[in-house]
Structure 1
Amino acid sequence: MSELKLKLSVLPVEPGCYLMKNSDGEIIYVGKAKNLRNRVRSYFTGAHDEKTMRLVADIVDFDFIVTQSEVESLLLENTLIKKHLPRYNILLKDDKSYPFIKITREKHPKLVVTRTVKPKTGKYFGPYPNAYSAHETKKLLDRIYPLRKCNVMPDKLCLYYHIGQCLGPCVFNVSDEQNQQMIDGITNFLNGETDGVVAELKEKMHAAAEELEFEKAKEYRDLMGHIENTMLKQNMLTADMTARDCFGYAVDNGWMSVSVLFIRSGKLIEKKAEMFPMNDSAEEEFFRFIVQFYDLSSNLMPKEVHIPKEFNVKLLDEALPAKVKAPSRGAKREMVELASKNASIAADNKFEMIARDEARTIKAIETLGDIMNIETPRRIEAFDNSNIQGVDPVSVMVSFIDGKPSKKDYRKYKIKTVKGPDDYASMAEAVRRRYTRVLKEGLPLPDLIIVDGAVGHMNTVKNVLLNELSLDIPVAGLAKNDKHATAELLYGDPAEIVPMKKNSQSFYLLQRIQDEVHRFAISFHRNTRRKTSIVSQLDNIEGVGPTRKRKLLSKFGSIKRMKEKNVSDFTEIGIPKNVAENIVRKLSEQA
């Protein structure tokens, strides 16, 4: 919840849409706002009705897309609701998808109008916002390019053959070259390249007129008229209907933020944003990101890619199969600028969150120092032990610098001098080994040492530090309650409970430290026990030394798997037969 509050605090004061997400990352609600900060914050303050309370209870994260105006946010909201179908939004029951014209992928292809897109089953053109326009275009293409019409091949010629709209592959041999020629013609036509078709029809019209076949000439003239009308409508739509991705960027503090706006069917349907550190120039980093972006199977290549005009369009155009453009005016340039604006806001938010998080952790350690009356503990090292009735005892140390874990400074200790379950002696050995090495290598000393335990553990550590190593470092203990959760901070001589508010950032920091050192200790102990258990069962087998142990573990992985094998399985990897028989016998006795 603290991360959510942090994100709320850095929301922009801009119009846009917000997308609420649950614990599974599913978008459960989409809304629009004139002021994103005020609107999204309102969900987490004040009183709400029952439905809104249920929604807020499910929210664990959110995303947002900044728009140019409130009107744009209204249109974008509608598009996002149709795309994601969030369960808390009210959906229109008569919502429909746009139709496409499809050339099927078959030996003898068909031309169909469909609302379902299955990319591997054919070649699609569209979408068409007007279903009537899609069907009229298909009718026109049927008259010019006579592909087959039947869903199932008949055994005799049908009406379409007799009216010249099918070549009759059910009876006659229609070659792949003929089909491909028609597919190429349809593809060119639907991509707006109609000059060749019109020129061919004009030639046929004149030829028919010279032969006094005036009805046929009229038919060709009408076809040219239909093409002109159809392409006029289609060109009016093309400006809005082209699938394009608009990339924008922002650079700040050595990092690049890139935002991608997905434009489909003339609508902004989605935004993606990434941030990464820069090692090269802005153009090199930007181009590298775009190329890698389309390498991902989840990002489909659009027809056009739009980028800011300061970059080398030609270079990227050669690298991508899509047409790369840098719009210099109009709505397309505004969309690239909007992408850059979203990237800039994402960068600002990221750095503001980092700054606030750092300020919060720095404040936590400063407050902790004040409460304990010591210097601000910028470097804190914490110790914990783990064993089961003294078997395979281990100890670990974790390090926190400025309130954050420094994992490169974590240390593990297999206890060597302690026999049996002696928690104090185990911790004394780990502390002794740690700070003997620190002094020997001139490493930085901690400002505070924390032990996972109470007064006995604290006194043990103090004794090693003062009497053996002559070190005067503050030592505190963290006591747990009956639910094994951090309960109290102990400090002083004699040790006393340090009064702290349980909801303070300083207390949260101590909880994180204790949870981390405990997790690290348990994990190390489990790994140690597993390795010891495997080795110990192989130790007493005659003919199995260190080299063969490694070979067996490398091949089979565990004792359990070895118990399932027979003699031949061991001899196949180079184990002598008599040794293999010993292994099988000994392991079966241990079963």
Structure 2
Amino acid sequence: MAKKVSAYLDNILKNIPERPGCYQYYDENGTIIYVGKAKNLKKRVLSYFSLRHDNNPKTRILVSKIRDIKYIIVETEADTLLLENNLIKEFQPRYNILLKDDKTYPSIVVRNEAYPRVEQTREIVKDGSFYFGPYTSVNGVKAMLEMLHRLYPIRTCKLNLTQENIQSGKYKVCLEYHIKRCIGPCIGLQDEESYLQNIEEVKEILNGNIGVVSKLAYKRMMECAEKQEFEKANELKTKYELIENFKKKSTIVSNLNYNIDVYSYDEDHNSAYINYLHVHNGAIIQAYTFEYRKRLEEPKEELLALGIIEMRERYGSKAKEIVVPFVPDLPMEHIQFTIPQRGDKLKLLNLSQQNVKQYKVDKLKKAESLDPEKKTERILHEMKDALHLKELPVHIECFDNSNIQGTNPVSACVVFKNAKPSKSNYRVFNVLTVDGPDDFATMREVVYRRYRRLLNEEEPLPQLIVIDGGKGQLGAACDSLKELGIYGQVAIVGIAKRLEEIYYPEDPVPMYLDKNSDTLKVIQHLRDEAHRFGISFHRDKRSKSQIESELDKIRGIGPKIKELLLSRFKSIKRIKEADLATIEVLIGKSKAKILQDYFNSKEGKED
């Protein structure tokens, strides 16, 4: 049976995004006990808690010790491998070793031997070799080795290439030489010095210092070109392009081959959120997101400054450059604040911003799942900010006209309280002063009638009025508010159907809200509800009108008889289809005879 998790962990599991990234498990002491990667964080992390682990006691022990979960989202699956490797090397979590021993976890080794080989291994031996990893993805290791062998002609054979063996002519070249993936050190075609130079560059790449190798390849390429060694220059150009292509696909490894800190910022009306990334030699080795509860209306520049001081003290960062979305209120000597506009630094800032936004969303979802009223409060505050309102729109009213083929014009007013429908307060209006289809005049009439009544009855006015329509309908509604003397007291906007643009009074330029924002969703819900309610009332009225006009033609059938028939049969068709005895029981023989004669005579005329 799957592990039963605490309410705290359950909230985290519900809100983990379905994006690539690395996750970290913490124990009760706040220590990282496991780091993993996933192309879908939500599915991967949920699998630990939803699956049985009867055949894997180590995993079962790990899950039993998890008390907190944190994660870092990235852009691509390739980035998850690199980031995971950085985090494992930095924190050395105990369960990354306990759960998967060295025979399970692959590493990359640079052998301690003459003409060193670079290959995958599952066995760590203290023989002076250099080990990189361990990695959790075999495919990732294979991809890395494939790239390295494309860049550098490193041997794959297991020959003992001592100078004595080479000089004795003991070996012959293999297929790798003929397909130009090895220069042939086994027969003395490559000296050990040039081979070891390649190995040093391989080590730099495996350490994450790709920028250093890229610059070196470019420098050598230009030198060869100047010496007119064009064949060699072309080989270096191919190597340079391969390295650059690899870098462009990764946010985690970049050109920034020195120490920098990256900060991003987000906020709501209660809290400020700050994400911190520390980049060393182009590799992210620290990532942390935290929150400040606002006490006063502190400016964001001051809050970001507090966060920078906190993180530099906590992690002991000595970075001389700090990448930020805006300049904080923090005078620091010998520190450069950078607001990037393009390039690798902008990619890192964007990655940091994605993480801080995800943290904010997760926190809000957790709070709202425990207290649904918090969601309502958040939506109202978001609407107030997005629509530039003076007060929270606790009470909203929306108007829509229904006028099909110019008949039975009606208008609907729906009411939302706390961003939810308040159906008992819905109202419909039969249009009294407008002849024919005139949307503007209809809107002017119903808005005037609605708020004249509220004023006369001393009922509270809404904080926001939404008009289903563009500038014309909005202008007509504003005319009525001006006539009543309340224009400016109540916020009013119009929503046009075509592009969902929002119009303000006396402003010809519409505003476009984020398609995924709760503000637009509430306004769309208002508009759709008003349309539904108005159409429903219009349909009922049209149907009733058709029935009543038919029965009104029958002499001898008065209002009471008509009411009895409609309440019993609902439609003219059913009255026609009913047998005479049933109708006689309901309205008597004489009235039933009148009905029968009328319908018979009508059928005769139609024939």
What's the TM-score bracket when you normalise by the shorter of the two chains? 0.3 to 0.5
TM-score (norm 2): 0.40
TM-score (norm 1): 0.41
